[in-house]
Amino acid sequence: MAVEAAQLMEKLTALARRRGFIFQSSELYGGINGAWDYGPLGVELKRNVKAAWWQQVVTDREDVVGLDSSILMHPLVWKASGHVQNFADPMVDCKKCKKRYRVDEIEPEYETTGKVPTQCPDAKCKGELTGARKFNLMFETHLGPVADSAAKTFLRPETAQGIFVNFQNVVNSTRIKVPFGIAQIGKSFRNEINPRNFTFRSREFEQMELEFFCKPGSDDDWFKYWVEERKKWYAGLGIKMDRLRFREHEKEKLSHYSKATTDVEYLFPFGWGELEGIANRTDFDLRAHQIGMRSVGKWRGEELQDFKLVDEDPEHQSGKLSYFDDEEKRRYIPYVIEPSAGADRATLAFLCDAYDEDEAGGEVRFVLRLHPRLAPVKVAVLPLVKKDGMPERARPLYDALKKRFAAVYDDSAAIGKRYRRQDEIGTPFCVTIDGDTLKDGTVTLRERDSMKQQRISEESVVAFVDERIYGMR
Ligand code: ATP
């Protein structure tokens, strides 16, 4: 049964709060904007999203390794990467209602035309807007006790730079050879002008980023390859393909470092939104750090904005970030293909996609049709009644299941009500222990989506659930 888009976000946020998926950060203190807390079910769901990403990008492959780099980095990293100079959004303020807007969001053609709107987009206000000002999205912080400019650095606004600056460490410490990738999942921070749409645009969020290094010239093929791989990932986790699109950026609109970019977008109830950007970043980043690292000794902690990076080797062939290709017997700076996805946005997309309502027993049934691999709880064990030896029989089965999967045990309320509770949080399987279990050793296995029930033997439950979750990959 289709749930109207206009109501879906409201219903989903209510469910998320009611059942412990996502809470507003610091709710007790009135909340803060752009930060979210994942509750007991939300943390499991997001962990499953991240695990599924890691499985595809790292575990299932021989040519990608993982990394967990720090959030705090040398301030020159952010100068060399261009974030100090360019990681800014243009913003305008309404002089009347004081609302602040990102120019490119209220004027979609801004990037090409440079046209800045003059009237507040709020139909009730229509006040006059200020001119556009650049607002750097990085959160500043200070290392150590002295808060002067020498100690200033930033919370990372993306995990990718931690990968680039470890490129040589990974090459030297492993036997991996180009083409290869380094993957990382971790927190990033952006002081977004206008956080909104639930977790979609937050100020603290998690990214899942792969930097795949390849020989210049092979980059176009690797780019196409990763676009296809990522499509398979979303499809494999059951996302509705008519709500997913792959949008290629027009050449004129590409960022200065990118040769090609495809955005993966999902049709959220509030419209199309980016889940992931896949970019051919050429050798831009490694070259940038090649210059950045030469500047370290020369840097005395002046304002980074004014500091000039020292480029003593315009060819960039001799530095640490070039790569010696043994087969070709030559040195080059690898090109990079970057699929960069948001863990929170993917989680939100899977939640929106899974939310459904249908009818059962004359009542509305709320159900999250999550892929079994993503479901926060895989199986619920439910003794029909709390007596007649049923709990004693159900407990060992629960113990066996919980060793392998996220499982819950629930013996309170009528069985129908317990099924509804599990449907609402997306539990794909419920196992009920009843009078027949005691006689013939069979249990009722109920499936969330079809609500079909079948009897299977107690001993086969673990294998059944295992097959249905992991056999579906
Ligand atoms: P947007 O245009 O929506 O601001 P972006 O193009 O700046 O996003 P990237 O820098 O490409 O985003 O970051 C890669 C991914 O990180 C995005 O596709 C998204 O999934 C995630 N991401 C970026 N900003 C946020 C945010 N403020 N909140 C949640 N996720 C984010």
Distance of CA 51 to the CA centre of its chain: 11
> Same domain, yes or no, for 212 and 313?
yes
Which residue's C-alpha comes closest to atom 21 of ligand 1? Answer: 342
Is residue 219 within 8 Å of residue 282, measured between CB atoms? yes
Summarised one tens digit per residue, pLDDT across range 198-237 is 999 999 999 999 999 999 999 999 999 999 999 999 999 9
User: What's the CA-to-centroid distance between 345 and ligand 1, angstroms?
Assistant: 8
Residue 388 sits at φ, ψ, to 5 deg, of 55, 30
168 falls within a domain: yes
> Same domain, yes or no, for 334 and 402?
no
Is residue 171 within 8 Å of residue 180, measured between CB atoms? no
How many independent structural domains does the chain possess? 2
Out of 312, 329, 349, a domain closes at 349
212 falls within a domain: yes
> Same domain, yes or no, for 301 and 209?
yes
> Same domain, yes or no, for 36 and 185?
yes
Out of 349, 364, 396, a domain closes at 349
**Tokens matching residue 117:** 């709107």
| Nearest CA among 429, 227, 243, 247 for reference residue 351 | 243
63 falls within a domain: yes
Which residue's C-alpha comes closest to atom 12 of ligand 1? Answer: 277
Q: Cα(422)–Cα(377) distance, rounded to whole angstroms? A: 8
> Same domain, yes or no, for 171 and 41?
yes
Q: In DSSP terms, which residues pair with 453 in a beta bridge?
A: 446
146 falls within a domain: no
Q: Cα(369)–Cα(352) distance, rounded to whole angstroms? A: 10
356 falls within a domain: no
**Which amino acid is present at 1?**
M
214: helix, strand or coil:
strand
User: What's the CA-to-centroid distance between 10 and ligand 1, angstroms?
Assistant: 23
User: What's the CA-to-centroid distance between 63 and ligand 1, angstroms?
Assistant: 26
State the helix-helix crossing angle for 40-54 and 343-354, rounded to 10 degrees: 110
Helices (H) and strands (E) in the chain, counts: 15, 23
Q: Which DSSP string do the residues of 127-138 spell out, in sequence order?
A: -BBPPPEEEE-P
> Same domain, yes or no, for 66 and 162?
yes
Per-residue pLDDT of the chain (473 residues; tens, 9 = 90+): 667 888 999 999 999 999 999 999 999 999 999 999 999 999 999 999 999 999 999 999 999 999 999 999 999 999 999 999 999 989 999 999 999 898 988 888 887 788 889 999 998 999 999 999 999 999 999 988 877 777 889 999 999 999 999 999 999 999 999 999 999 999 999 999 989 999 999 999 999 999 999 999 999 999 999 999 999 999 999 999 999 999 999 988 888 888 999 999 999 999 999 999 999 999 999 999 999 988 888 877 777 888 888 776 666 556 778 899 999 999 999 999 999 999 999 999 999 999 999 987 788 999 999 999 999 999 999 999 999 999 999 999 999 999 999 999 999 999 999 999 999 999 999 999 999 999 999 999 999 999 999 999 999 999 999 999 988 54
Residue 264 sits at φ, ψ, to 5 deg, of -95, 120
> Same domain, yes or no, for 336 and 390?
no
Looking only at the bridges linking them, the beta strands covering 429-433 and 407-409 are: unpaired
Out of 349, 369, 400, a domain closes at 349
Q: Write the CATH number for 303.
A: 3.30.930.10
Is residue 45 within 8 Å of residue 21, measured between CB atoms? yes
25 falls within a domain: yes
Q: What is the dihedral of CA 330, 213, 334, 74, to 10 degrees?
A: -120
Summarised one tens digit per residue, pLDDT across range 114-149 is 888 999 999 899 999 999 999 999 999 998 887 777
Q: Cα(56)–Cα(313) distance, rounded to whole angstroms? A: 38
> Same domain, yes or no, for 325 and 382?
no
> Same domain, yes or no, for 420 and 312?
no
> Same domain, yes or no, for 226 and 320?
yes
Helix intervals (H) in 4-82: 5-18, 40-54, 75-80
Q: Which atom of ligand 1 is nearest to the CA of 276?
A: 18
Mutate which of 46, 155, 207, 254 for ligand 1? The one with the most ligand atoms within 8 Å of its CB, which is: 207
Is residue 431 within 8 Å of residue 381, measured between CB atoms? yes
Q: Which atom of ligand 1 is nearest to the CA of 209?
A: 14
Distance of CA 317 to the CA centre of its chain: 35
90 falls within a domain: no
> Same domain, yes or no, for 295 and 426?
no
Distance of CA 106 to the CA centre of its chain: 25
Contact residues of ligand 1, CB 6 A cut-off: 158, 190, 192, 201-202, 205, 207, 274-277, 340-342, 344-345
> Same domain, yes or no, for 462 and 383?
yes
pTM: 0.94
Q: Which atom of ligand 1 is nearest to the CA of 275?
A: 20
Q: Write the CATH number for 437.
A: 3.40.50.800
Query: Structural domain of residue 399, as residue ranges?
Result: 377-470
311 falls within a domain: yes
Summarised one tens digit per residue, pLDDT across range 87-117 is 998 999 999 999 989 898 888 888 778 888 9
Summarised one tens digit per residue, pLDDT across range 276-306 is 999 999 999 999 999 998 888 887 777 788 8
